[in-house]
Amino acid sequence: MANNDIYNEIQYPGPYQLAWAKFRADHVSWVCFCIVIFFIIVAIFAPLVAPYSPTEQNTDYVLLPPSWQNAGDVHFLLGTDDLGRDVLSRLIYGTQITFGLSLLVALAAMVVGLALGALAGMSKGIRASVFNHLLDTILSIPSLLLAIVIVAALGPGLFNTIWAVFLVLIPQFVHRTRIAVQNEFKKEYVTAARLDGANDFQILISSVFPNIIETIILQYSLAVSAAMLDVAALGFLGLGAQQGSPEWGAMLAGSIDLIYRASWLATLPGVTMFLCLLSVNTVGHGLRNALKQRSE
């Protein structure tokens, strides 16, 4: 189409902008993205948002049902547990532990995995083969079993759980990065850069990384949901966060004894966690679709 506006340069959207526009055009993903942002804000500002401390025991209000039931009290919006602790505050602080820590641990695993994956992707011969075998071994063990074994060696506790999840997530990042780097290195623009005299490291930083960053972000969203599941599952099994901690899995585990008397203690943490996981998964799915559409 002819462009009559000769004074203003027309802006063509770059690849990132294009992917972002595609992503925003999908309403479901966009809503889920907003929910994820909401959870992140809640996690950061938990002490400001929460009405009570997660450990404060209101002994006059033990096992109060949520406020929409007749026996409920509006001061405790989502009710209280068997020690009179406010469920809403505990869920908010739980966001900090289960969701916030998962975001951080996935980020740390991403940095380490990216570095190792790039090294593995560029190496050839026997070293690469040994590395691949090692990776295949670790990837063939399901992440929860591996995390359980690491926790068994280190001893139960939230801190050890985080270590375990960190170690479990790294191989997945290494695997994904390695494949992506190997594929990029076969492409012609890399050859062009090499003919210009760039060494491997320069090619990696300035040519390959910008092109695989989206794959890595996609893997990050998968890793966050896997990390949340593992942290909560270990908390539920009593191997992670100790009983009484507001971690969602530990809250669910604590609710089992009271499930007949106070079913909201089992449903509410589950609903929160389900919502959070669903949003993260949908964002990842939407991202993948956006990238696929852009390349088509």
Nearer residue to other proteins within complex by CB, 203 or 231: 231
CB distance 79 to 267 below 8 Å? no
**Smallest separation, CB 184 to other proteins (Å):** 23
Q: Which residues are near other proteins by CB under 8 A?
A: 133-134, 136-137, 140-145, 148-149, 151-153, 155-156, 225, 229, 232-233, 236-239, 249, 252, 255-256, 259-260, 263, 266-267, 269-270, 273-274, 277-278, 281-282, 285
Nearer residue to other proteins within complex by CB, 14 or 125: 125
**Smallest separation, CB 227 to other proteins (Å):** 13
Q: Please report, in angstroms and rounded to a whole number, the separation of the first and last CA atoms in the chain.
A: 22
Under DSSP, the state recorded for 64 is P
Helix (H) or strand (E) holding 20: helix 15-25
Nearer residue to other proteins within complex by CB, 162 or 190: 162
Nearer residue to other proteins within complex by CB, 108 or 139: 139
**Smallest separation, CB 154 to other proteins (Å):** 9
Q: Kindly tell me the sign of the dihedral angle through the C-alpha atoms of 197, 201, 202, 203.
A: positive
**Smallest separation, CB 294 to other proteins (Å):** 19
**Smallest separation, CB 86 to other proteins (Å):** 21
Nearer residue to other proteins within complex by CB, 16 or 274: 274
Helices 125-140 + 158-185 axis angle, to 10: 140
- In whole angstroms, how far apart are CA 48 and each of 52, 86, 92, 269? 10, 15, 10, 20
**Smallest separation, CB 197 to other proteins (Å):** 37
Nearer residue to other proteins within complex by CB, 80 or 255: 255
Nearest CA among 146, 126, 51 for reference residue 92? 51
CB-neighbour burial class of residue 73 (10 A; exposed 0-12, middle 13-18, buried 19+): middle
